[in-house]
Structure 1
Amino acid sequence: MSNHQKRLSVPNSWPVERKTEKYTVKAGAGPHGEDGVPLLVLLRDVLGYVDSKKEARYALNQDSILVNGDAISDERRPIGMFDIIAFTEREEYYRVFPDEGGRLALTPIDGDAAGSRLGKIDRKEQVTGGDFQLTLHDGTNVRVEDASEYATNDSLVIDNDDKSIVAHFTYEEGALVTAVDGQHAGDIGEIDEIVVTQGSGSNTVYANNESGGFETVEEYVVVIDENFVDDDSEFAAGSDAADDDAADDVDEEADAE
């Protein structure tokens, strides 16, 4: 397998310019699959905190850059949807959130909100010993004794320190959701209707918002809460709507410039 990543072939979610250079850094093994953005891309190309891979490695070795509460030493570590990135020395905190067009963007958050992260339940299964395992969208596994209240497509808020469940949001009509892929990526609305498709086809979700709403497939929506929206949104806390629902780069020398 190649150690190089051409810019023209990176996933649509990567926030990189495709025609400025031929190659970019390749994501390493880790969460989020092929859509995960290498941490170096965010540090260098998005935030501008480093100018090269060498600088990124130096910064990471200071243990002052945390992802979901853990110090990261690999600049190729994949970063994806809803990850929390903390710069402890700068006292800056960001949540990775889908932007218009499906690109991942960094949303500034308060330090108090950086202690936990959101995850969508992709799978639920019973494991050896009788407990149940909930697998989230980023590959995180959470064990619970009783999984009767949890279902696939629900969302959980996970504490970054002890990995415990802080909150649970049910996927149902009336739930606040955001689209994370497709032409409506980044849109937020309340589920108006979930149309179940017979057979192997995807279920359809209709959501309403102040712009008239949107329609997308079930796989593209994630249940969130009002903390994920702007203060002036109709879904912000205190509004009527909220009250109703409680690789290495190819050229090392060029990369170091």
Structure 2
Amino acid sequence: MTNHQKRLSVPKSWPVERKEEMFTVKADAGPHGESGVPLLILLRDVLGYVDSRKEARYALNQDSIHINGKAVSDEERPVGMFDIIAFSEREEYYRVFPDEGGRLTLTPLDADSAGSKLGKIEGKRNVPGGDVQLTLHDGQTLLVEDDSDYSVGDSLVVGNEDGDIVAHFEYEEGALATAVAGKHAGQIGTIEEIQVTKSSSPNDVILSAYDGDDTFETVEEYIVTIDENFVDADEEEMNELD
């Protein structure tokens, strides 16, 4: 199986220029599905910390690069939305976040904020023993008590070291949220109305823009609830992945 992919066929969220060269590196199997960006692209093409795959492998062998609290050794490891990337020797920390064009960006963080990551609940089911299993957007699973009030569509902040839930943002009218795909990707606003459809069509969500009086509309699938900490980070200088 080839470890290259044609640039013209990569997902729109990937931070690569499609017409510069014919091929780019292909992501390994892992979290985020087909939208996961190979770590090598971030290290070489975005941050400029390495010039080649060989240099990336050497850097990763030093155990100084972590994703969501775990050291990474595979330069093709997929990285995606809301992942936390830490460079311990440089004392640099980033959150992967979609910009207003839908491309993934790196938002600088402090060390405390880098200790946990955001996840959208996309699945919920009962498991033997009376607990409930939650599945997040990147495939991570969490076990919670049966009487917990977590619902599909809500967001959780999960500690990278212990997997504990440290914050819960409900998907409801009045909640702060961001669109992560579609033509409004990267926009942040307050949910004004959730329009539930009676057909198989997705529900629509109307939001009032956080930074103005305008409103925008997108489908429920593209909405992730957040809090003001994400707005503050988004207003700081962001390193675009291109």
CA distance in 1, matches of 2:77, 2:44: 14
Cα offset, 1:195, TM superposition: 0.3
CA distance in 2, matches of 1:147, 1:44: 46
Q: Which runs of 5+ in 2 are unaligned?
A: 236-242
CA distance in 2, matches of 1:200, 1:77: 35
**Change over 3 Å in CA distance of 1:163–1:33 after alignment to 2:** same
**1:195 alignment partner in structure 2:** 195
CA distance in 1, matches of 2:149, 2:39: 35
Q: Deviations over 1:68-123 (max 9, x none)?
A: 00000000000000000000000000000001221100000111100000000000
TM-score, length-scaled by structure 2: 0.94
CA contact (8 A) 2:109 2:233 kept: no
One-letter amino acid of the counterpart of residue 167, structure 1: A
Percent identity (aligned): 72
Q: Does residue 143 of structure 1 match 2:117?
A: no
SS at match of 1:178: strand
CA distance in 2, matches of 1:232, 1:123: 27
**Change over 3 Å in CA distance of 1:196–1:232 after alignment to 2:** closer
CA contact (8 A) 2:130 2:146 kept: no
CA distance in 1, matches of 2:55, 2:126: 45
Listed as ranges, the matches of 1:26-37 within 5 Å are 26-37=26-37
**1:183 alignment partner in structure 2:** 183
Q: Which has the higher strand share?
A: 2
SS at match of 2:40: helix
If you compute each CA radius of gyration, which structure gives the higher value, 1 or 2?
1
Q: Which runs of 5+ in 1 are unaligned?
A: 234-257
Listed as ranges, the matches of 1:94-109 within 5 Å are 94-109=94-109
CA distance in 2, matches of 1:66, 1:3: 23
One-letter amino acid of the counterpart of residue 116, structure 1: S
TM-score, length-scaled by structure 1: 0.88
Q: Does residue 56 of structure 1 match 2:56?
A: yes
- State the aligned residue count: 233
CA distance in 1, matches of 2:91, 2:184: 32
**2:225 alignment partner in structure 1:** 223
Moved over 6 A (4+): none
1:214 to 208, 213, 216: 216
